[in-house]
Amino acid sequence: MSYQHLIIERHGPVGWLINNRPDVRNAMNNAMRDEFAEAWTELNEDPTVRVIVHTGEGRDFQTGVDVGELATDGVGMERYRQSMEDFDVHFTSWHQDVWKPVITAVNGICCGG
């Protein structure tokens, strides 16, 4: 599968999950958030992948939520809060379902909220 905001690479037994929004320092928008579930599942279920490395394209791993998207797409603060609460629940679930070792290769800034 191809993704708009993530890159999946395989190098031998290593699967790479790369945040791919370097123009905004890999800030997470709604589309990127939605791609995570499929990307984690894809790598976890691939029998040729024995370990997953998660990193960021460009100079930063991730700078948190894309506040520019909040300002431009008309997302109200309440909807944003609900969407992030949903993401937290699902993100925790995805990580619990990944049984392969995961290495987070943090480059540059790594922020969360």
pLDDT value for 67? 77
CA gyration radius for the chain?
14
Domain 6-111 has CATH 3.40.30.10: no
φ and ψ at residue 48, rounded to 5 degrees: -85, -15
The residue count of the chain comes to 113
pLDDT value for 20? 98
This prediction has a pTM of 0.83
pLDDT value for 68? 76
pLDDT value for 98? 84
Instruction: Average pLDDT across each block of 10 residues of the chain; the chain has 113 residues. List them in order.
Output: 95 98 91 87 96 96 81 64 70 74 91 68
C-alpha to C-alpha distance for 20 and 60, rounded to whole angstroms: 10
pLDDT value for 29? 84
Q: DSSP letter at 58?
A: T
pLDDT value for 97? 80
Give residue limits of the domains in the chain: 6-111
